[in-house]
């Protein structure tokens, strides 16, 4: 199908893009990599009157050490750049691994971390990873910058906490605590590689090998990526014995209204959430060791 008519703008600065957003309001859409928005436009599921392409803005693609530790990642950084970055591999290896599991090489070379998070596809990989890594998302607008935690960013199906005049321009990943391991495990659609269920886990061990911290994000299961708080609580303070891991994994889906569609029933997604939570937790523990 062909998209509906729209006007196209290619600003060269964040300020210019923010000004265009403020001018056109709800009629405007931002274009990052385009692999999510353009198909929706071709199906007429999205019909923006104004398209604002961020691809000409210099300085939105970078990976560097953040002040105070951790990583600062520009919103236009591609999946391929995340996958290949030594900084990401050492500071947030789960992010590099998850980026490498997105779609295919063509998509990874064009798709961006900011586009993925702002689009908030319920089957996207990176939202769960952002939650598990306790990421902070920095926005720009014609007013002040704003910092939004990953926990508060994902609101509903394809809906985030971004205001209509805001641009996501940076993602900050705190440094992992000492003796921490992380892992992302997913059951992917064989054609698209979207997550039917994906689980991201971070586990921190104390000096005796007990769990002193846990952070778990789930994607694909429901309308948005969520934190598996019950699973985290079941792990923290435990010796991480087999029974505890099984119980924690079994609680990872608590509170989720599971999607039910042609790809998987709600019952099957509930089962997969427990299975892949267990795999992610065990892999994170192994990586911590």
Q: Which residue has the tokens 């590099």?
A: 96
Domains of the chain: 7-53 (3.30.43.10), 63-173 (3.30.465.10), 180-288 (3.30.390.50)
Q: Which two tokens stand for residue 109?
A: 């070379």
Q: What digits encode the pLDDT tens for the residues 111-129?
A: 999 999 999 999 999 999 9
Whole-angstrom CA distances from 35 to 51, 116, 203, 250 are: 14, 9, 32, 34
Q: Which two tokens stand for residue 272?
A: 């997969």
- Residue-level pLDDT at 227: 98
- Residue-level pLDDT at 237: 98
- Residue-level pLDDT at 157: 96
Check if the beta carbon of residue 50 is closer than 8 Å to that of residue 9: yes
- Residue-level pLDDT at 223: 98
pLDDT by residue, tens only, the chain of 289 residues: 799 999 999 999 999 999 999 999 889 999 999 888 999 999 999 999 999 999 999 999 999 999 989 999 999 999 999 999 999 999 999 999 999 999 999 999 999 999 999 999 999 999 999 999 999 999 999 878 899 999 999 999 999 999 988 999 999 999 999 999 999 999 999 999 999 999 999 999 999 999 999 999 999 999 999 999 999 999 999 999 999 999 999 999 999 999 999 999 999 999 999 999 999 999 999 999 7
- Residue-level pLDDT at 35: 82
Q: What digits encode the pLDDT tens for the residues 232-281?
A: 999 999 999 999 999 999 999 999 999 999 999 999 999 999 999 999 99
- Residue-level pLDDT at 25: 86
Spatial CA neighbour of 217 closest among 122, 148, 103? 122
């Amino acid at each position: 199908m062909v998209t509906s008519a729209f006007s196209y703008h290619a600003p060269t600065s964040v300020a210019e893009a923010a000004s265009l957003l403020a001018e056109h309001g709800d009629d405007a859409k931002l274009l990052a990599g385009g692999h999510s928005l353009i198909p929706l436009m071709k199906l007429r599921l999205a019909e923006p009157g104004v398209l604002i392409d961020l691809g000409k803005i210099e300085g939105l693609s970078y990976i560097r050490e953040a002040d105070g530790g951790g990583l600062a990642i520009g919103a236009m950084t591609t999946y391929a750049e995340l996958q290949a970055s030594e900084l990401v591999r050492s500071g947030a290896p789960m992010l590099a691994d998850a980026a490498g599991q997105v779609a295919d090489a063509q998509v990874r070379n064009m798709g961006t971390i900011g586009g993925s998070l702002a689009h908030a596809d319920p089957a996207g990989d990176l939202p769960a990873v952002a939650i598990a890594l306790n990421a902070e998302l920095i926005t720009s607008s014609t007013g002040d910058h704003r910092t939004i935690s990953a926990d508060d960013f994902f609101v509903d199906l394809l809906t985030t906490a971004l205001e209509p005049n805001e641009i996501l321009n940076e993602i900050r990943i705190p440094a992992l605590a000492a003796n921490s391991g992380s892992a992302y495990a997913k059951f992917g659609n064989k054609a698209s590689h979207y997550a039917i269920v994906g689980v991201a886990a971070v586990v921190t061990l104390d000096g005796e090998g007990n769990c002193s911290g846990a952070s778990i994000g789930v994607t694909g299961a429901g309308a948005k990526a969520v934190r598996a708080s019950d699973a985290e609580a079941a792990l923290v303070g435990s010796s991480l014995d087999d029974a505890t891991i099984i119980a924690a994994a079994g609680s990872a889906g608590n509170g989720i209204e599971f999607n039910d569609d042609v790809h998987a029933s709600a019952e099957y997604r509930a089962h997969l959430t427990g299975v892949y939570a267990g795999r992610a937790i065990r892999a994170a523990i192994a990586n911590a060791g």
